[in-house]
Structure 1
Amino acid sequence: MRFTFGNEEKLKSKKQIEQLFAEGNAVKEFPIIMKFLKTDANDFPIKVAFSVPKRNFKLAVHRNRIKRLLRETYRLNKHTLLNNVDGKYVIMFIYTDKTELNYTKLEEKMIAVLNKFIKKQKIEL
């Protein structure tokens, strides 16, 4: 398993993002909300995007740092998702806290939200 996060894994389609927010479900583990939607349109099994609201962090420097940390925690733990989930999904991670968490806390929360998602998918099958 390669721990990369290439362009084919990134959710960039405005149409898919709008559909995700209109029809998608969510799993929450404060401060991360994981919006997801099962789809057939992807060439890669899971496409992911990250968001940090401007309302909570006015400076782009802080928003970008949190997005970098979220991407890194996802990149190192995505193997649990790819090995345990069948089907193709579009996913968006939204950071909702008003303060920055350090990397270790954020990684714990990312693992917890991924595990909740996996459990939810196993129940639906």
Structure 2
Amino acid sequence: MKNTLGKQERLKSRKLIEKLYQQGNSVKTFPLRMVFLQTEHTSKFPVQMGVSVPKRNFKLAVDRNRIKRLMRETYRLQKNIVYNNLDMPYVFMISYIGKEERSYSELCLKMEKLLKLFVAKVNEKKDEN
């Protein structure tokens, strides 16, 4: 598996994003929150993901864009945690809920923790059924 985050892996569909926020479940590791939903999507990849940073907490677009870039990069390097443990297609959105910017290394640790929490929750749900 390549460590890339191409166009097919990004969540762009407005309909899917609306459905995600209406019906999705969430996991949280401060300062990151992931809303996820098991659903079919058009991509050949098992996951489509998006990132968001609220304008309310970061007024300057420069700051928001930097945080989003860091979040995408930390996900890109650790997405194998998710890809190796899923057998159903998922969509998810990762939101930054903190009030101040964190360092890259701290975001890396938090992203890893968040992805492992997501996999654990998905597997727990699968075991119930």
Gaps of 5+ in 1: none
Whether the 8 Å CA contact 2:46–2:86 is kept in 1: the answer is no
What residue identity is the alignment partner of 1:96?
A: I
Match of 1:113 in 2: 114
Gaps of 5+ in 2: none
Tell me the secondary structure at the aligned position of residue 101 of structure 2: coil
Residues 86-124 of structure 1: CA distance to partner in whole angstroms, max 9, x if unpaired? Answer: 200111000010100000000000000000001111111
Whether 1:52 aligns to 2:53 is: yes
TM-score, normalised on structure 1?
0.98
* Separation in 1, partners of 2:74, 2:122: 21
Give the drift of 1:10. 0.5
Match of 1:61 in 2: 62
What residue identity is the alignment partner of 2:7?
A: N
Query: In percent, how many aligned pairs have the same letter?
Result: 51
* Separation in 2, partners of 1:41, 1:34: 18
* Separation in 1, partners of 2:5, 2:20: 21
Tell me the secondary structure at the aligned position of residue 84 of structure 1: coil
TM-score, normalised on structure 2?
0.95
Query: Pairwise CA RMSD of aligned residues?
Result: 0.7
Tell me the secondary structure at the aligned position of residue 53 of structure 1: coil
* Separation in 2, partners of 1:41, 1:63: 27
What residue identity is the alignment partner of 1:27?
A: V
Tell me the secondary structure at the aligned position of residue 28 of structure 2: strand
Whether 1:9 aligns to 2:9 is: yes
* Separation in 2, partners of 1:40, 1:99: 35
* Separation in 1, partners of 2:82, 2:2: 14
| Runs of 4+ residues deviating >2 angstroms | 41-44
* Separation in 1, partners of 2:42, 2:120: 22
* Separation in 2, partners of 1:4, 1:115: 19
Match of 1:70 in 2: 71
Whether 1:41 aligns to 2:41 is: yes
Whether the 8 Å CA contact 1:42–1:88 is kept in 2: the answer is no
Q: How many residues align?
A: 125
* Separation in 1, partners of 2:114, 2:42: 22
Give the drift of 1:42. 3.3
